[in-house]
Amino acid sequence: MNTNFLWIRFLIGCLLFVLLTGCTTTTPEIPTLEPTVISTQTSIPPTPSLHQPIEVTFDGNECTVSGPTEIPTGNYPFVWNDLSEQQNTDFWVSRLLDGKTFQDLLDLQSEPGEYFPKPSWVVHSPGYYSFTAEVWVIILDEVGEHAIYLGGKNPLSIWNCASFQVFEDPSE
């Protein structure tokens, strides 16, 4: 036999040996975990920081808000009732910056529903939607004037609903 042929067989054998030994690893044993019980509770649990719901209703021509005009900082559930035929509107709760007021928002329109781009001095308040309770929980942790307004998508439209003041919660 040829010496080169023996060397090639030897190298191929070594390569196969390395590949086979490299692929055989032991799997560490995974400890068995106890299952976690998931609660079937579907409502938002009452907490000291969650206040009475504020209800926003839109009938296609005007919006109404039930709730106080001054509230302490905290998390507030907002119930959104879109009774319009469009069924394609959203509502926002925003803080007004730079000393701007709700009247400044109203002045951006010649009539209710007329669209205008969001001004730089309007900042959306953070929040999250709870599918189980069908409400938005808005986090109102900034002191100042806030506005509730609606926006339609087809056609583009804006309805300014109401304003309220957020003050520092003395208990926090």
Query: The CATH number of 54-167 is which of 1.10.287, 2.60.40, 3.30.70, 3.90.1580?
Result: 2.60.40
pLDDT tens digits, 71-113: 999 999 999 888 887 767 888 999 999 999 999 999 999 999 9
For residues 42 and 65, the answer to whether their CB atoms sit within 8 Å is no
40 pLDDT exceeds 50?
Answer: no
β-partners of residue 147 are: 94, 163
Backbone angles phi, psi at 97, to 5 degrees: -100, 175
Q: Identify the residue whose tokens are 């056609």.
A: 155
pLDDT tens digits, 122-167: 999 999 987 766 789 999 999 999 999 998 887 889 999 999 999 9
Q: Is the pTM of this model over 0.75?
A: no
The conformational region for residue 108 under phi > 0 = left, psi -120 to 50 = alpha, else beta, is alpha
Nearest CA to 58 out of 79, 33, 32 is that of 79
